Amino acid sequence: MVTHIVFWNLKEAPEAERAASARKMKELLEGLVGRVPGLLSAGVHQNFTPGGYDLCLVSQLTDRAALEAYQVHPAHLEVKKFVHSVVCQRAAVDYEE
């Protein structure tokens, strides 16, 4: 099993807009489960600690091949368009168990 974790900072915007962006990211990314083969789970979470990243995605996939397929899956690419429109920083970690 592969765990794929992504951290983001949202672009500067009024708080209500940032909150709406975070909710939409959560809805879109978690909605990929069942649509992308090999994507077993996905959860988007907001950070409450000042100074850290604003949001993170914690997802699990069956294996490395599923992660590679996820990255180019049309449904994921559509979601990425929105995500890239509202974030300014990104970091990722992938590991196998």
R_g over Cα of the chain:
13
Strand order in the sheet with 2-10: 39-46, 55-61, 2-10, 87-96
pLDDT at 90: 98
DSSP type of residue 48: -
CA distance 80 to 85: 8
Domains in the chain (CATH in brackets) are 2-90 (3.30.70.100)
pLDDT at 25: 98
- What global pTM score does this model have? 0.95
CA distance 22 to 46: 8
pLDDT at 88: 97
Q: What is the pLDDT of residues 70-86, one digit of tens each?
A: 999 999 999 999 999 99
Q: What is the pLDDT of residues 12-53, one digit of tens each?
A: 999 999 999 999 999 999 999 999 999 999 999 999 999 999
